[in-house]
Amino acid sequence: MAKPASLFSAVLPVRGPLSHRLTISFRTIMIMMLVPALLSMTMLTSFSRLYYAFLTRAEKIDSLTAVVVDTLPAELFAIVAGRARFAAGRQDELMTQVGSTLDSLIAEKPAAELELTVARRTAETMGKYIEQLGKQMAEGSTVDEDALVLEEIRNVSALLGDMFRDAVSAEIRAANQTSRQLRTALSLAVTLELALVIFALVFIRSARGALSRAVADPLLELQTFAGKIADGQLDVRTPEPDVDELRALSDSLNMMAGRLDGLIKENKREQENLKKSELRVLQAQVTPHFLYNTLDAIVWLAEAKKNSEVISITRALSDFYRISLSDGHDWITVSQEEEHLRGYLTIQKIRYRDILEYDIRIDPSLKTEMILKLSVQPLVENAIYHGIKNRRGGGRIDVDVWRDNALLCVKVSDNGVGMTPERLESLKAMLSGREPSAELGYGLFSVHQRIKLYYDQPQGLDVVSTFGEGTAISFCVPLSAHGGKNV
């Protein structure tokens, strides 16, 4: 091993400004200490995420095994045996649960994608048998006939159970492979880090004796300054030191603090733009099913030769998407948002006819004020699909927009089925989290996050619901908060 003095001389120039030597020494140590640590953290995070995903999917698949092998056949046996009615059974709910879980697992492109895809098709076959059982029981079939269908269901159930077990095995094998890769990578990283730490310790020992004598007091002052930067005080600056050789270092540290401050602010802006882009993608996931359903309705009306209604719904659809696009602008007037909302409700009114009534009340003085585009229509859509649609008889939606001092307030209320306390808590938990839920509503999550982001406020949507009575969703935002910008 080389002597400390020789090692220090090999890394740092013997001659030259003291600030230059300190900068090289500092950067060398930081690289040797940080690079392996960052590599280790990156690998650990990446492999851990993969490992956790494999195990989570295996757990979900295993839970489906209990449903299709035990719970569902038991439910159907009780029905066939006459202990329960088919209409009151949970078979449809269980099959829906199995189907949605399989769809979400397949969408993740798992290791067991082939097994799960085949299992999804087999589950559809099982659902058809269950539908057949319900139909023939409704037509007065005999117990023997029902028992034959039940036996088919049990056979498919056993086959599904085998498929799920194969899928779990595939995910576990993938998890084990990932674990082995992680151990190998970490072993290499630890070896590299240990070697660099030893080299860094030797280098530090060499540099300490060569530099401390010349910079003891000034360096202590610079160290205090560096500590302030580490604490986040990026607005502080160090005075010019008395030692000429350290003046360049002092200037560099002052410049570094300013650049760090600028980089932090720039990074914040980039993160906000990234979130806005992600929310635009999420928002795009909300509307396609509405277009499909509307086009289906137009075809149905055309086949029924209801030309006036075809013209009405087509114009409403054109207005709806014209305002939805709005030349890429994120801000539109309240009047445009109202026009967009009325176009949407016109389409839904034609589709749902007598089961939907609505009223829109907007303060006339707010018509020219700017509002974040698509901040009201998703709330109305949620009221229809999660409230009115599931209610027996007619339903009503009320939209109110009013001024509260310097705030623009919006409230969408319905007299639909409402939410149980448990579902309401789940919805609020989703809104306060980072990931949307298809079951609880992409639209609500999108509006909630967009309001917080674009208006730069901690509050988003406020949800109040009573099971069996209805739901009210509201928000308040500052008037003219966008400053005329479209992001």
pLDDT per position as a tens digit, 189-198 = 778 778 777 8
pLDDT tens digit sequence for 377-396: 889 988 888 888 877 777 89
Q: Is the pLDDT at 270 greater than 60, yes or no? A: no
More confident residue, 183 or 359: 359
Burial 383-408 (b: 16+ CB within 10 A, else e): bbbbbbeebeeebbbbbbbeeeeeeb
Across the range 171-195, mean pLDDT stands at 80
Q: Is the pLDDT at 427 greater than 60, yes or no? A: yes
- Distance, in Å, from the CA atom of 276 to the CA atom of 281, rounded to the nearest integer, reads 9
* Per-residue pLDDT, 398: 95
Query: Is the backbone of residue 2 left (phi > 0), alpha (psi -120 to 50) or beta?
Result: beta
* Per-residue pLDDT, 361: 95
More confident residue, 13 or 145: 145
Query: Position 211: which residue type?
Result: L
Q: Is the pLDDT at 467 greater than 60, yes or no? A: yes
Relative to beta strand 470-478, strand 395-404 is: unpaired
* Per-residue pLDDT, 483: 44
* Per-residue pLDDT, 438: 59
* Per-residue pLDDT, 27: 74
pLDDT tens digit sequence for 65-77: 888 888 888 888 8
Neighbouring residues of 297: CB distance < 8 A, sequence distance ≥ 6: 313, 347, 350, 351
* Per-residue pLDDT, 115: 87
Q: Is the pLDDT at 471 greater than 90, yes or no? A: yes
Tokens at 74, concatenated: 């038991």
- pLDDT band at 300, cuts 50/70/90? confident
Among the ranges given (141-145, 146-150, 182-186), the one the predictor scored with the smallest mean pLDDT: 182-186
Residue among 61, 66, 53 at smallest CA distance from 120: 61
Residue among 451, 366, 448, 364 at smallest CA distance from 406: 366
Among the ranges given (144-148, 194-198, 275-279), the one the predictor scored with the smallest mean pLDDT: 275-279
- pLDDT band at 14, cuts 50/70/90? very low
- How distant, in Å, are the alpha carbons of 14, 136, 429 from that of 380? 74, 40, 21
* Per-residue pLDDT, 291: 73
pLDDT tens digit sequence for 336-367: 889 888 888 888 888 777 678 899 999 999 99
Across the range 217-234, mean pLDDT stands at 69
Among the ranges given (175-179, 209-213, 227-231, 373-377), the one the predictor scored with the smallest mean pLDDT: 209-213
Candidate ranges 174-188, 326-340, 396-410, 470-484; pick with highest mean pLDDT:
396-410
The size of the chain, in residues, is: 487
Reduce the DSSP state of residue 137 to 3 states and report it: helix
Q: Is the pLDDT at 282 greater than 80, yes or no? A: no
The percentage of residues in the chain with a pLDDT greater than 90, rounded to a whole number, is 13
- Distance, in Å, from the CA atom of 403 to the CA atom of 365, rounded to the nearest integer, reads 9
- Distance, in Å, from the CA atom of 435 to the CA atom of 420, rounded to the nearest integer, reads 21
Torsion 228-230-235-240 (CA) sign: positive
Residue 372: its H or E element: strand 370-372
Q: Calculate the average pLDDT of the chain.
A: 79
Across the range 411-435, mean pLDDT stands at 88
Q: Is the pLDDT at 284 greater than 50, yes or no? A: yes
- pLDDT band at 289, cuts 50/70/90? low
* Per-residue pLDDT, 367: 92
- pLDDT band at 5, cuts 50/70/90? very low
Beta bridge partners of 400: 361, 411
* Per-residue pLDDT, 326: 60
* Per-residue pLDDT, 3: 43
Burial of 434 by CB count in 10 Å (0-12 exposed, 13-18 middle, 19+ buried)? exposed
- Distance, in Å, from the CA atom of 444 to the CA atom of 447, rounded to the nearest integer, reads 5
- Distance, in Å, from the CA atom of 370 to the CA atom of 238, rounded to the nearest integer, reads 46
Residue among 109, 118, 127 at smallest CA distance from 68: 127
* Per-residue pLDDT, 486: 45
Whether the Cβ atoms of residue 338 and residue 320 lie closer than 8 Å to each other: no
Q: Is the pLDDT at 273 greater than 60, yes or no? A: no
Query: Position 486: which residue type?
Result: N
Q: Is the pLDDT at 461 greater than 90, yes or no? A: yes
pTM for this predicted structure = 0.46
* Per-residue pLDDT, 385: 83
Across the range 41-49, mean pLDDT stands at 76
Q: How many CB atoms lie within 10 A of CB 274?
A: 10
- Distance, in Å, from the CA atom of 323 to the CA atom of 316, rounded to the nearest integer, reads 11
* Per-residue pLDDT, 275: 58
- Distance, in Å, from the CA atom of 50 to the CA atom of 175, rounded to the nearest integer, reads 8
Q: To which CATH superfamily is domain 287-478 assigned?
A: Histidine kinase-like ATPase, C-terminal domain (3.30.565.10)
- Distance, in Å, from the CA atom of 424 to the CA atom of 427, rounded to the nearest integer, reads 5
Domain ranges in the chain?
1-270, 287-478
φ, ψ of residue 239 to 5 degrees: the values are -70, 160
Q: Is the pLDDT at 15 greater than 50, yes or no? A: no
Q: Is the pLDDT at 303 greater than 60, yes or no? A: yes
More confident residue, 85 or 264: 85
- Secondary structure (DSSP) of 233-260: -TT--PPPPSSGGGHHHHHHHHHHHHHH
